[in-house]
Amino acid sequence: MNTKHMTLGEFIIDNQRFFKYSSGELSRLINSIRLAAKVVNHEIRKAGLVDIIGAAGDINIQGEAQQKLDVLANDLFKQTIINREIVCGIASEEEDDFVIVEGKDKSNENKYVLLMDPLDGSSNIDVNISVGTIFSVYRRVSPEGTPVTKEDFLQKGSEQVAAGYVAYGTSTMLVFTTGNGVDGFTLNPAIGTFYLSHPNIQIPEEGNIYSVNEGNYVHFPKGVKNYIKYCQAEEDNRPYTSRYIGSLVTDFHRNMIKGGIYIYPTSSIGPKGKLRLLYECNPMAFIAEQAGGKASDGYKRILDLQPTELHQRVPFFCGSTKMVEKAEEFMADHPADADY
């Protein structure tokens, strides 16, 4: 099929044979995420006109102040998925614990679990900066027909069958992989349809952008400090350009298209890092690798880490392969920093 005007629905049908597990459920799940993303996009576009920006007044499980749109996006995605009885369980960054999804007959026959960060970078909404949604899909490991367990969610990232994100920016894009490359779809708001705009995305092997919150420089491990100095040195094709927005989806998307590295390391004020392994690092690492990039915790491949808790935090180095490998060289000089 000519991909020039291919819709997301057509793409799913045309490529279902390449899915790791060919299943109508997985196709329906991607379609449900598409629907929820369109609704969230509509709500975001109203921010500032209606009372949906600012803090909601609650604190989530990570001890962070929830934004009103965090709560709204979480509810929209959760209800859209639950209503269609596609998954047997959902885990969200905004929920204390995982949610068991039962069918109308109280059965648990569905094969997949969904993990999500419903609105990454939501505090940026107040100042009109791009935000996003991140999602990750696994096949359950518990017996079908029984309630899901925590072990269904605590799987290595290498076991993902699909992962993606939605970037709500100057245009709204849905980017995802099912283990056969990465493709991006842009929403035509006039008719509410996602069209294939970025087929087979590839991260440049090398880049000239480094994305890190340099305001925390004094708190960073020695290896990260030395890598930043390397990025700033005037030699070879450096200094690199520093670009940091503070919204993982937006920073990652830019670096995937242009080439670069995103770093959120451990620090003296965040000894385990900030980003969540299950909701942010694993899906982005899966996407990065499928696009020819690399993702690690500074020492080990992210997708090989064994999760031990739902809201586990880890350091994150992700992007162009050569840039991540160079950062790992600096980190290797300080192995004590791996004790997070």
Residue 27 lies in a domain: yes
pLDDT the model gives residue 130 = 87
Q: What is the extent of the structural domain holding 95?
A: 8-198
**260 and 226 part of one domain:** yes
Residue 340 lies in a domain: no
* Residue 107 marked in a binding site: no
**172 and 233 part of one domain:** no
* Residue 211 marked in a binding site: no
Report yes or no: 22 and 15 within 8 Å, Cβ to Cβ. Answer: no
Residue 189 lies in a domain: yes
Residue 303 lies in a domain: yes
Residue 260 lies in a domain: yes
**Residue 207 to residue 321: CA distance in whole angstroms:** 9
**213 and 194 part of one domain:** no
**30 and 73 part of one domain:** yes
pLDDT the model gives residue 50 = 46
**Residue 121 to residue 197: CA distance in whole angstroms:** 24
**Residue 125 to residue 45: CA distance in whole angstroms:** 10
* Residue 120 marked in a binding site: yes
**327 and 179 part of one domain:** no
**Residue 199 to residue 183: CA distance in whole angstroms:** 5
Q: Which of 198, 224, 256 is the last residue of a domain?
A: 198
pLDDT the model gives residue 78 = 94
* Residue 121 marked in a binding site: yes
pLDDT the model gives residue 298 = 96
* Residue 95 marked in a binding site: no
Q: Which of 173, 198, 223 is the last residue of a domain?
A: 198
Q: Which of 156, 178, 198 is the last residue of a domain?
A: 198
Report yes or no: 266 and 315 within 8 Å, Cβ to Cβ. Answer: yes
* Residue 123 marked in a binding site: yes
- Among candidate residues 237, 155, 164, 247, the one with its CA nearest the CA of residue 204: 237
pLDDT the model gives residue 49 = 47
**101 and 25 part of one domain:** yes
**172 and 255 part of one domain:** no
**187 and 238 part of one domain:** no
* Residue 213 marked in a binding site: yes
* Residue 183 marked in a binding site: no
* Residue 296 marked in a binding site: no
Point out the residues of the chain with pLDDT beneath 50. Answer: 1, 49-57, 65, 340
Q: What's the number of domains the chain is made of?
A: 2
CATH number at residue 38: 3.30.540.10
**108 and 170 part of one domain:** yes
CATH number at residue 262: 3.40.190.80
pLDDT the model gives residue 42 = 86
- Tracing tokens 């935090």 back to the chain, one arrives at 313
**167 and 214 part of one domain:** no
**119 and 194 part of one domain:** yes
Separation in Å, CA 243 to CA 258, 263, 320, 321: 12, 11, 15, 18
Residue 310 lies in a domain: yes
**51 and 169 part of one domain:** yes
Model's pTM, two decimal places? Answer: 0.92
**Residue 122 to residue 60: CA distance in whole angstroms:** 13
